[in-house]
Amino acid sequence: MSDSYRFPDDFLWGSATSAYQIEGSPLADGAGPSIWQRFSHTPGNTLLDQTGDIACDHYQRYESDVALMAELGMNAYRFSISWSRIFPEGFGRVNSKGVDFYSRLVDALLAKGIRPNVTLYHWDLPEALDNRGGWLNRDISDWFADYSTTMFDALGDRVNMWATLNEPWVVTDGGYLFGALAPGHSNLFEAPIATHNLMRSHGASVERFRASAAAAKGKIGIAVNLEPKYPASDSAEDIEATRRADAYMNRQYLDPVFFGTYPDEMREIFGEAWPEWNEADMALIKQPVDFLGINYYTRNVAKHDPERKPVCARGVAQPQHTITQTEWEVYPAALTRILLWVKERYGDVPLYITENGAAFYDPPTPIEGRVEDPLRVEYYRQHLRAAYDAMSQGVDLRGYFAWSFMDNYEWALGYSKRFGIVHVDYATQQRTVKSSGRYYSEVIRSQGTVLSE
């Protein structure tokens, strides 16, 4: 067996999930409703009006799920905390039963030798805070900082890896600009404000972390979804469209963290809807982070399109490559490219691939006790090779988290798209490891060397 793809001995091999997508029992034990509770229960917002009321029932089944992670050989697990389980009203009174659930989960992980990687916000804002303006209210940075501090104090003695936000671009683009995701707004002027308050909240959380006891043994960062942009042609219009698309999706959320500025293109994109931000805000956002989480799924081939406002660019399909069920092109080379780009633009910050995976068709129930998903197996093989290629070129990549540990609630798409390496029969909640899960387990066992085969 070749060792040409051997990863470092201390490399983190994990999987990732988020609270609303897997937990179920969203109002159990004193929890308050989130914006996804409200959004998914509003007719017409999600496929077949499906909700996360049950999802994967992980709230009840977490112990057996953790045991399955250990069986597959994972040494890390990335999960998010439901803010409204901790603060049912968004701030003020702490719900101790909510804290206790995550404390038990952390203990279960540690008992199996699995390192907990906690994300504080994965899109499920407490409904009570949305009623006060949500991410449009400047006070949210204080609310988020208080919530963060509560979790640092409760779990910081056992958790040494924290992320403030997951994919702030999606929160703004889907939740405030186009309305496809909770809270369902569609307003050009709201989007920059939501973005800015997300980034201010990130900075405030990092600041609180540095002042907490958790900082003595822990590290904190942010997880962003990055998508390399390629021009559809050599025309000046397509090249400019690519530049705008890159600024909007990629640099808008990294430049403030590392440089303390937003890309110049943001005013070009939003016009009069883009405000001027004060220096104190930008200084708050530019808190030093210990690592950067990168969620990568696909690339984007951009073409100028004046009708696709505000960026005036659209993605062009690439039918010569495999296309996933979410209509994303499978293009592993772009993962190498984006990792190298981060290193070149932002320096040698430690990196983790905090999400990577694909939705392909899987049967609702296993066939003869098995779920074969060869396309997903090949997706992981090629993307893990691409990650290693970036490392061989000097990228400080320290871990990889497959998205997702198990099939789950895919937001407005309901249960129609399966990303898991573990199959979930939603009628029975039976878990079945897919062939991709078995393959990933072999990758972990061999420290990556099976990727050579």
CB 115 within 8 A of CB 158: no
Q: Which residue of the set 190, 227, 265, 355 is catalytic?
A: 355
Give strand ranges (E) for 84-154.
115-121
Tell me which DSSP letter residue 247 carries. Answer: I
- For 146, the enclosing helix (H) or strand (E) is helix 140-155
Q: Which residue has the tokens 């798209």?
A: 417
What's the sign of the alpha-carbon dihedral 434, 440, 446, 449?
A: positive
A 10 A CB-CB count for 271 gives 11
Helices (H), 112-139: 127-130
Closest CA to 107 of 71, 77, 147: 77
Question: Cα(first)–Cα(last) distance of the chain, in Å?
Answer: 8
Q: Does residue 167 have an active-site annotation? A: yes
Q: Which residue of the set 23, 127, 167, 265 is catalytic?
A: 167
CB 322 within 8 A of CB 333: no
Tokens read off for 225: 């979804």
Residues in the chain: 453
Tokens read off for 391: 């490392």
Measured in whole angstroms, how far is the alpha carbon of residue 25 from the centre of its chain? 21
Closest CA to 314 of 322, 303, 325, 324: 303
CB 18 within 8 A of CB 79: yes
Where in the sequence numbering do the catalytic residues fall? 167, 355
